[in-house]
Amino acid sequence: MELRHLRYFVTVADELHFTRAAKRLGIEQPPLSQQIRALETELGTPLFRRQARAVSLTDAGQAFFADAQQILASVQRAADHARRVARGDLGRIRVGMINSAPFHPYVPRVLREFGSRYPDVLLSLDENSTPQLARGVAEETVDVAFVRPLLGDEPGVITEPLFDEEVLVALPQGHALAAKKKLALAQLRAEPFVLFSRPFGSGLYDEIISACQRAGFSPRVGQEASQITSIINLVAAGLGVSLVPESMQQVHSPGVVYRPLSGDAPKARLSLAYRAEDNSTTARNMIELARALVTAMRLGDTRTEG
């Protein structure tokens, strides 16, 4: 028994007229009658009472009509489900992000707009360090991740730069340099630094060290931390100064002031990590949206989704 036999039967049962049913199906009436006869032969029972000017369902036909409608509806639901998954309208995506990513308006906007466009896609978040997120992407426990530059390549993972963010000096409140409106990096040569530990901070750590060396000194790292919020708290406690992404100004710690840098200053790059070979449509949709919103941000588009 083929699905087309069920569709033919349901249409005739709905119309109770072979000619009208044939027209609705876009076929000739004689072949339709032959297909219904073949179906009845296969089932071993008549489904219709055929009279000179009328057609009606037998008791077996009534029972088969209800079941055939349910089967066709289930097939349609299955087909719709498959198409929605194929389009990325349904499914799941696992998004990773570094601790500082949510503080930049770009990342929440990407997540918010993705949720608006694909409301039936379950989005789960994993906050972790760049190396761990890159490893998660490679091992397929994370689909896409917002990260800082890696120290080296992760096999099978593409790290696509999104944008470079300005870096600010974070100073303890009451620090002598806090009276300045803008600082040169060389003015921090005597200060103890609070930075990410290199395995967690990855490329951002190296970017800061290199910028300081270009300014004529090697920073004295007094404290290290694995989270940007921990760094801010250590600065507030007076344990040193730090260089942090501009968006971290949103962390309103009463013991910290932020000042811009002049001259040759490091940048905090945000990148998107994803697998080089990935058949997930949901991941591709997220990647394309992230690219589109970077373009909109560069053009000064501050509109929200919708």
* CATH code, domain carrying 83: 1.10.10.10
pLDDT tier at 279, thresholds 50, 70, 90: low
- pLDDT of amino acid 86: 74
Quick: pLDDT tens for 83-117.
Answer: 777 777 768 899 999 988 888 999 999 999 999 99
Q: Note whether 228 and 100 are within 8 A (CB).
A: yes
pLDDT value at residue 303:
46
pLDDT value at position 141?
Answer: 94
Banded model confidence at residue 306, pLDDT cuts 50, 70, 90 = very low
Q: What is the CATH number of the domain that holds 185?
A: 3.40.190.290
Helices (H) and strands (E) in the chain, counts: 9, 12
Domain that holds residue 35: 3-87
Determine, yes or no, domain membership for 71. yes
Give yes or no: residues 119 and 181 share one domain: yes
The residue among 65, 87, 109 that closes a domain is 87
Parallel/antiparallel/unpaired status of strands 91-97 and 121-127: parallel
- Per-residue confidence (pLDDT) for residue 151, from 0 to 100: 66
DSSP string, 102-160: GGSTHHHHHHHHHHHH-TTEEEEEEE--HHHHHHHHHTTS-SEEEEPPPSSPPTTEEEE
pLDDT at 202: 62
Same domain, 73 and 206: no
**Whether residue 130 sits in one domain with residue 104:** yes
Tally of domains in the chain? 2
What average pLDDT does this structure show over 143-171?
Answer: 90
Residue that finishes a domain, picked among 45, 60, 87? 87
